[in-house]
Amino acid sequence: MTAGAARNGTILLVEDEEDIATLVRAYLENDGFRVIWAARGADGVLALEENEIRLAILDLQLPDADGLDLCRMIRQTSRLPIVIVTARDEEVDRITGLELGADDYVTKPFSPRELVARVRAVLRRAEPDGLDGEMTIGDVIVQPAGRTVSVAGSSVELTGMEFDLLAFLAAHPGIVMSRERLLERVWGLAFPGGTRTVDVHVAQLRKKLDRPNLIRTVRGSGYKAVA
């Protein structure tokens, strides 16, 4: 990899299957990322401590750890964007990963090009976009420029996806958004979790904001933000 190939930052790939890791690494490096590959969870933790990581790709089935545990550990101290890659296609695994703070979920076998597209989509959502307009719904203040949220003056920590969902709803107060539209506008790609993904994130927002009525369910239609 040439020096210019790392222009898009460093991605941590925690994957124990060398063939998959080699293929994914090649595609990511071709797209301008530097890739640090760790075959074990412990090596992944060490890489996080020693490097400036822009995004982590985690396999769920590792020889020394569960990727969900690693996801949980990262979320306890960081908003680092996380993409989970796994051969496990059970709904409970997808939902658990999302609830722990993963930003996207890709099931094996997958297209390396799709994974790169998802990585870029997650980074676009997770990082500041230069918007300055503050949005207020009741005592909830959303600031897109700094990607911060406060409730009654107190800061609330959200994952990148939770923030994007809240910001999109807050930008359209009182307007009902279908789950399909939210998937398209917030997630940006056909998401393997389906519309259940939206329900999970709305539930998490209600819990974290402690404002259960801020995002109202419109039976048979979707969700809307209300003061």
Digit-coded pLDDT (tens) for 143-181: 887 889 999 999 999 988 899 999 999 988 888 988 888
| Distances, alpha carbon 201 to alpha carbons 5, 196, 208, in Å | 35, 9, 10
Averaged pLDDT for residues 17-43: 94
Q: Which domains does the chain have, with CATH numbers?
A: 3-126 (3.40.50.2300), 135-225 (1.10.10.10)
pLDDT at position 199 is: 93
Instruction: Decide: helix, strand or coil at residue 87.
Output: coil
How long a stretch of residues is the chain?
A: 227
CA 21 to chain centre: 20
Q: What is the pLDDT of residues 99-126, one digit of tens each?
A: 888 888 888 888 899 899 889 888 877 7
What's the predicted TM-score (pTM) here?
0.61
pLDDT above 80 (res 4): no
pLDDT at position 20 is: 92
CA 158 to chain centre: 10
Cβ contacts of 180 within 8 Å, gap of 6 or more: 195
H or E element: which one contains 221?
A: none
Q: What is the pLDDT of residues 61-70, one digit of tens each?
A: 888 888 888 9
CA-based angle 80:103:107, to the nearest 5? Answer: 125
Q: pLDDT confidence of 90, banded at 50, 70, 90?
A: low
d(CA 21, CA 106): 14
pLDDT at position 25 is: 95
Dmax (CA) of the chain? 54
- H helices present in 17-66, as ranges: 18-30, 41-50
pLDDT at position 186 is: 82
What's the half-sphere exposure (Cβ side, CA atoms, 13 Å) at 54? 18
Share of the chain above pLDDT 90, in %: 42
d(CA 121, CA 109): 20
